[in-house]
Amino acid sequence: MIEIKENFSLKKYNTFSFDVKCSYFSTFSKVDELKELIIIHINNKYPLMVLGGGSNILFTTDFEGLIIQSIIKGVEIISETNEYVDVRVGSGENWDEFVGYCVQHDWSGIENLSLIPGFVGTCPIQNIGAYGVEVKDTITKVETIEIDSLNDFVFSNAECNFGYRDSIFKKELKGKHVITYVYFRLKKKSEFVLNYGNLNEELQKYNLINLKNIRQAVIDIRNSKLPKPEDFGNAGSFFKNPEVKAVKFDELKRNYPTIPSYPQGNSRVKVPAGWLIEQAGWKGKNIGNAGVHSKQALVLINLGNATGNEVLNLAKEIQNSVNQKFGIQLEMEVNVV
Ligand code: EPU
């Protein structure tokens, strides 16, 4: 049964810990409850927002409307062969608990995505990625409800239009569908992806390379670089890593020979935003209560009682100085409300 709470504090519902409120808030544990909430939104003309784990959102103000959050649970095996298993997972499952569950069952594919905050239902929206793996490579289908029509939809992997931290749910269909279930195909024969950054190095500590140890290594690397939201509110990477044309990159390389890069093919090169921000002098700096994490400059943090606007202001200052120094416009990864 749904329960709508009024004048609801979102402080515990966004990992920046901004002290904002919404007029109405409700969770839904099944598709029928979601439909009931959508009808309430339509009948009362309340603006509607779907919140996941609140780990990729920056609230600058209270939300005058209805916020809904999936608590649809369950990991159901749909089919299984000797090679793989297909599972259908409720959008309200905690992402990292699902990763842990797969590792426990010896299903591979998402172990490099350990400890990413958020829900299963939001992982396709921005195609979460880390340590050389993107979730798009394991997602087979996404089930949704279209808000305007209340119709059920199933998007194939191709129809999701996945890109780097991107999908159709962030673009053309932004705010139009609510994700209810995500389908994954996980491999029974482990194929490890270990070529990213210091993952391999971290694994030297173990005498065996298996899913459990990879998960632990990823957790240890993340814990050493990324702040825990309990210590400092944050939303992971604040900006995307920008892609520049090869000619532009060659020019940068002449001026900054140590610049790291990831060639993307089609004469484009991705450059780590964290490096650009550090070079622009921002690492460990703050403006008021909004700061740049001292161990990973791509992460902006709430040092205490920061407001969303303070963090947004810091983000804009960083964008300006990176643009001035390198001629590159950083694009925000978090959703600003
Ligand atoms: N770097 C710096 N200074 C910094 C941070 C990074 O010089 O302050 C340099 C590093 O030395 C390295 C390069 O930048 O050469 C890349 O750094 P890192 O491996 O930490 O990864 P990233 O590109 O900064 C991306 C993702 C992270 C993900 C890591 C690991 C984006 C926007 N971010 O960060 O994702 O965990 O790779 O795969 O693509 C997230 O999206 O919230 C997130 C944390």
Would you state the pLDDT for residue 191?
84
CB 184, CB 87: distance < 8 Å: yes
Would you state the pLDDT for residue 190?
80
Domain 5-70 bears CATH identifier 3.20.20.220: no
Q: Could you tell me the pLDDT band of residue 266, with boundaries at 50, 70 and 90?
A: confident
CB 56, CB 122: distance < 8 Å: yes
Pocket test for ligand 1, best of 219, 237, 292 (most atoms within 8 A of CB): 237
Q: Which atom of ligand 1 has the smallest separation from the CA of 297?
A: 8
Would you state the pLDDT for residue 184?
98
Q: Which of 165, 167, 185, 215 is catalytic?
A: 165
Q: Which atom of ligand 1 has the smallest separation from the CA of 222?
A: 36
Q: What are phi and psi of 219, to 5 degrees?
A: -60, -45
Q: How much of the chain exceeds pLDDT 90, in percent?
A: 95
Nearest protein Cα to ligand 1, atom 32: 240
Would you state the pLDDT for residue 265?
82
More confident residue, 196 or 99: 99
More confident residue, 265 or 241: 241
* Residue-range domain boundaries for the chain: 5-70, 75-201, 233-336
269-286 pLDDT per residue, tens: 999 999 999 999 999 999
Element (H, E) at 229: none
Domain 75-201 bears CATH identifier 3.40.50.720: no
Q: What are phi and psi of 217, to 5 degrees?
A: -65, -45
76 is catalytic: no
233-336 has which CATH code? Answer: 3.90.78.10
Question: Separation of 304 CA from ligand 1 center, angstroms?
Answer: 24
Q: CB burial class (10 A; 0-12, 13-18, 19+) of residue 296?
A: buried
Distance CA 256, CA 28 (A): 51
Nearest protein Cα to ligand 1, atom 41: 237
Would you state the pLDDT for residue 247?
94
Amino acid identity of residue 335, one-letter, is N
285-307 pLDDT per residue, tens: 999 999 999 999 999 999 999 99
Q: Look at residue 189 and tell me whether its pLDDT is greater than 90.
A: no
Mean pLDDT score of the chain: 96
Would you state the pLDDT for residue 124?
98
Q: Look at residue 197 and tell me whether its pLDDT is greater than 90.
A: no
CA 263, 120, 126, 303 torsion: positive or negative? negative
Stretch 64-71: mean pLDDT: 98
Q: Look at residue 148 and tell me whether its pLDDT is greater than 90.
A: yes
214-236 pLDDT per residue, tens: 999 999 999 999 999 989 999 99
- Topology agreement, domain 5-70 and domain 75-201: no
Question: Separation of 153 CA from ligand 1 center, angstroms?
Answer: 34
Distance CA 123, CA 134 (A): 10
CB 157, CB 99: distance < 8 Å: no
333 is catalytic: yes
